[in-house]
Chains A and B, each alone.
Chain A
Amino acid sequence: MKIHTHDGQVRFNLLNFAFSKLLMKRTHIILLVLVAVAVTVIITMFGDFSTYETFATAAKEPGRQYHVIGYLEKSKAFEYNPQTDPNHCTFYVKDKAGNLNKVIFNGAKPTDIEKSEQIVMTGMMQGNEFHCSKIQMKCPSKYKNDQVVVGNAS
């Protein structure tokens, strides 16, 4: 939009130009800003998301939290001695790649973990052990797969 100022010069007011040509309203601009903020938030949010890994891939970045899916190795003992430490379980899990690994769970023993078909552990590799703070189990109930969440932090 051309604006004639008092000294006769012609100037372009860019903002007004944009408003009038693009029919942009103030609301639209604020919405655009909000959407931009939202997109930024959503993009940063992706950094929060974890990934599913195997023990081997999780070991590449020890100390970083991952989800590992696996199966409780029933031939090895599940150790839980509340007398010595009620927040400590040790057991072995075979991951989807078929590798057996020792797992330490910092929490009370998840109910019925021996019967679980599959477990999803959230935690990290430390040395040769996988330390997890959360275990999600899939238990066979005769006709449907019930998900039971246990050992949830907080």
Chain B
Amino acid sequence: MPGKLGHFFVITAFVMALFSCFSYWLAAVSEDKDVQGSRGWLLFGRNGFIIHSAAIVGIFATLFYVISNHLFEYHYAWRHSDLSLSPKYLLSCFWEGQEGSFLLWTFWDCVLGIVVMLTAKSLESRTMTIISLVQVALTTMVLGFYFGDSIKIGSNPFLLLREQMQGAPIFAQPNYLEFVKDGNGLNILLQNYWMVIHPPVLFLGFASTIVPFAYTIAALWKGEYQKWIKPTWCWSLFSGAVLGTGIMMGGAWAYESLSFGGYWAWDPVENASLVPWLVLVGGLHTIIIFKATGRSLVVTTIFFILAYLLVWYSTFLTRTGILGDTSVHAFTDEGKSLYWHLLIVIGVLVALSIAMLIKRWKTMPRVKTEEAINSREFWMFIGSFILLLSAVQIIITTSIPVWSPMVKSISGKDVAPPADPVQHYNSIQVWVAFILCTLMATILYLRFKSSDNKLVWKRLGITAAIALVMALIVGYLQRITTPQYDLMLFGCCYTIVGMVYYAISIQKLKFKKLGPATSHLGFGLLMLAILISSYNKHAISLNTTGERIGIFDDKSREKDIKENMEHVMMFKNVPMTMGDYTVTYKGDSTISDPEAPGNIHVLYKVLYEHLDTTTKQAIESFTLYPEIVHNANKQMNNGVANPASRHYLSHDVFTYLTPLNDTKKDTAQFRSHEVKPGDTIFISNGYIVFTGLDANVSNPNYHAEANDVAVSAKLDVYDLKGKVGSMQPVYYIRDKQYVDLVTDTLKDLDMYARVQHINPETKTVDVQIKQDDPKDDFIVIKTLIFPYINLVWLGVIVMVLGFLLSLYNRLTKKEKEKASFTEGYPFSK
């Protein structure tokens, strides 16, 4: 039943998007000739869009109902969730699947569309035509229409399990549902709070790039570029802030729950979201140039169009499985149909954009004169262009699987991604970071059109001098020796110093004007943080020399091997030196998550002690609990590693384990020792002194009864450092009839002791000791030191705040647009 309702919503959403697009289009083409008629179509368009949005909300609610009520007859619920799933992760199931994430995107588009509808005024008909056109494309993704057997358009999230897997014998039985008791479950890696909040933010960022795009097409459509500026500017600020936040939230998730040890790995999926952001930010800067000087109109339109097309291209890269494996091309059916589907959508958007650009190419206003070299617009333009080049480099390498078949058919060479992608990107993008950082402070000192050279040089000189000192200090303390990273370091310092200087001495700390200074300061901080944290990230497991093996170094094969040598094996209770720490594996314990009973968490207790070099006393100690999580559904036999880290202001200690097949065996046995008071028993890593028998029994596991005769043996346990603890195994005779024992244990040493027998004649006691063989209990662990990771998050937060501050300033500013443009820049027609 909910399936039927859901499907009804899907159809409604699709039809209404079409209707809205068509009405808005008619409104747009008739608004100059027939105002009355256009108004009518506009109302149709609005209503269509609102009904469409309501239907999308309906789909959302229905699908959520299906998942949260565990209706496993639906494929989506069965595939992405199970009964044991904690309610807080239900939303993650929603976006784990293809359809759910498209729905999320569609949903955000609806929200953004309604805001545009209410604010676009005279641009509404055109922008909304574009937005509803995209909604048509997005709803086809969940349509699930079949043409014949081979062509399938979209994939309906409300498909029943038996429809999805036709022909499976189980469905021949009418009562098949009785066998489908539980779902497949959610990937353990996605059961993380970041996975609940990060996709909505990232998708809002992705979706929001449609607004600058729609406005740009709208402007080109009728060749009106004045009213276009303000909303496009504001929306690109919004987009930049949200998409930037989303990307770094993804980094935070990767850092916390994946074990590649970092927040950024130049992974194709990460790159695919970074590239549109870079291009969008480029557009944001050129539109400022256009506003101030009337220049750069053409590139601005191209930037915004490109940013949006890249969002779709990213979707193509990450969803069709094309990145998965270059040479196999074994897509799942879904991937295959999606492949053409997405290509068609991209084709339509590209054709539309190119047609609009060609139509207006000749008549777009351009300024014929030259920019002055000492003008802000000149350097800002170059900066934006560098952003574009950076994006081009990233997308070319990321797209290797896309273009390599072509190269193969021509040259026969089967091109693969770089053997070391991180090194590949870093070695190129370090120059981008350096140039951008150097441009930033310089540009803000310059004025549009032309500047006072003397003043600019003075300010630049002061900034550069302070930055140089700062860079030298940081470089010395952080031991950054590679020349290009020293340059980058200087660039970062230059930006940071420049922005603070600019904010204080030029903007006089006027709150509303601080947007640019803040966002660029954030960027500078972020770059600095990325540099320091990546350059000095090092493993302390194994690598006790403290030698740096930063990922920014040129890597030889030896280093490559060494990096992989960072896993060490630790036996239980055998301390090991790692960097400044003495690390001891103390044992494991198994818990099941009360909120997700299907998952079994095995916590491994690892003690880190920072010892004073002279006294050998622990100055500081902490315990980390890296986990191995096993899923009851056993998607992965050996479990999934969940890292643990200790956060400090200046660095993180980050550790994770390698899941192993459980090899633990209980091979140890009790051994007898005949002892008298004062005797010593030697054990593998220490000794035990038997101090005597005690009639005052204090063992908590012994419950005294009336006629008991009980004694406990007092055993003091020492290891090489000193006394570790004591044990009081109990020996008692109950009701004068039977003898019983209470075994005592010493957890730290995995030791069990019991009194087997008391011999009154020889006055000896038979103490039995069992100690687990520490060789049976071990972990394979890797520990990394991540310096200044907090600075990374700080940089991002400051940058995003800067975007928002600029947005706030833009929104509240009284526009003097008319005035500034009638001043008459020499437009050429």
Interface of A toward B, CB cutoff 8 Å: 25-27, 30-31, 34, 38, 41-42, 45, 48-53, 63, 65-67, 69, 82-83, 86-87, 96, 106-109, 111-112, 114-115, 118, 120, 122, 124, 133-134, 138, 141-147, 149, 151-154
Contact = CB atoms under 8 A, between A and B. Distances in A.
Nearest to B561: A106
B393 A38 contact: yes
B424 interface: yes
Given A66-B419, A82-B658, 9 more contacts: A26-B378, A31-B385, A45-B393, A50-B417, A52-B416, A82-B569, A83-B569, A87-B567, A145-B324
B506 interface: no
B382 interface: yes
Contacts of B420: 65, 153
27 contacts: A26-B378, A27-B370, A31-B385, A42-B392, A45-B428, A49-B397, A49-B417, A50-B415, A50-B417, A50-B419, A52-B414, A52-B416, A67-B419, A82-B569, A82-B658, A86-B567, A87-B566, A107-B564, A108-B658, A111-B639, A118-B325, A120-B325, A138-B325, A147-B325, A151-B564, A154-B260, A154-B422
Contacts of A114: 637
Interface of B: 79, 184, 187, 260-262, 265, 321, 324-328, 330, 332, 334, 370-371, 373, 378, 381-382, 385-386, 389, 392-393, 396-397, 400, 413-420, 422, 424, 428, 551, 557, 560-561, 563-569, 635-641, 658-660, 775, 778, 780, 782
B325 A144 contact: no
B327 A111 contact: no
B637 A112 contact: yes
A25 B295 CA distance: 13
What is the predominant secondary structure among interface residues of chain A facing chain B? Answer: mixed
Nearest to A52: B414
A28 to B, nearest CB: 10
Contact of A122 (B419, B422, B563, B639): B419
A45 B373 CA distance: 32
Contact of A109 (B557, B635, B660): B660
B389 A38 contact: yes
Contact of B321 (A69, A145, A154): A145
The 8 A-B residue pairs with the shortest CB-CB distance, nearest first, are: A108-B658, A65-B419, A67-B416, A52-B414, A107-B564, A106-B564, A86-B569, A50-B416
B416 A141 contact: no
A116 B415 CA distance: 23
Contacts of B373: 26
Given A86-B568, A107-B564, A154-B261, A145 B417 contact: no
Nearest to A80: B660
A86 B780 contact: yes
Nearest to B640: A111
B397 A138 contact: no
B415 A49 contact: yes
A120 B414 CA distance: 14
A34 B393 CA distance: 13
Contact of A50 (B385, B393, B418): B418
A56 B386 CA distance: 42
Contact of A133 (B330, B386, B561, B658): B561
Contacts of B332: 143-145
Nearest to B400: A49
B415 A26 contact: no
A69 B262 CA distance: 27
Contacts of B416: 49-52, 66-67
Given A26-B370, A87-B567, A41 B428 contact: yes
Contacts of A153: 420, 560, 563-564
B118 to A, nearest CB: 39
B567 A108 contact: yes
A83 B564 contact: no
Contacts of B640: 111
Given A38-B389, A45-B428, A145 B330 contact: yes
Contacts of A118: 325, 328
A111 B636 contact: yes
Q: Most A CB atoms within 10 A — which of B414, B416, B659?
A: B416
B100 to A, nearest CB: 14
Q: Most A CB atoms within 10 A — which of B378, B420, B640, B658?
A: B658
B141 to A, nearest CB: 16
A107 B414 CA distance: 27
A16 B561 CA distance: 57
Contact of A34 (B324, B330, B382, B659): B382
Contact of A48 (B265, B324, B418): B418
A142 B184 contact: yes
Contacts of B262: 154
Nearest to B431: A41
Contacts of A65: 419-420, 557
Contact of B424 (A26, A34, A45): A45
Contacts of A112: 636-638
Given A41-B428, A42-B396, A147-B324, A34 B386 contact: yes
Contacts of B565: 87, 106
B639 to A, nearest CB: 8
A143 to B, nearest CB: 7
A147 B401 CA distance: 15
A151 B414 CA distance: 23
Contacts of B414: 51-53
B143 to A, nearest CB: 20
A129 B10 CA distance: 56
B567 A51 contact: no
B659 to A, nearest CB: 5
Nearest to A31: B385
B371 A26 contact: yes
Contacts of B326: 52
A147 B557 CA distance: 26
A48 B397 CA distance: 10
A82 B778 contact: yes
B564 A87 contact: yes
Contacts of B641: 111
B382 A107 contact: no
A19 to B, nearest CB: 9
A26 B295 CA distance: 14
A57 B215 CA distance: 53
Nearest to B98: A144
A142 B635 CA distance: 9
B780 A82 contact: yes
Contact of B385 (A34, A41, A120, A143): A34
A145 B320 CA distance: 11
Contacts of B567: 86-87, 107-108
Contacts of A87: 564-567
Nearest to A96: B327
B564 A51 contact: no
B125 to A, nearest CB: 36
B663 to A, nearest CB: 9
A48 B424 CA distance: 7
Nearest to B261: A154
A152 B260 contact: yes
Contacts of A124: 557
B294 to A, nearest CB: 14
Contacts of B780: 82, 86, 108
Contacts of B371: 25-27
A152 B566 CA distance: 12
B393 A42 contact: yes
Nearest to B267: A149
A136 to B, nearest CB: 8
A93 to B, nearest CB: 15
Given A27-B371, A34-B385, A118-B328, A143 B413 contact: no
Q: Most A CB atoms within 10 A — which of B184, B389, B551, B778?
A: B389
A107 to B, nearest CB: 4
Given A27-B381, A108-B567, A115 B418 contact: no
Q: Most B CB atoms within 10 A — which of A27, A53, A154?
A: A154
A32 to B, nearest CB: 11
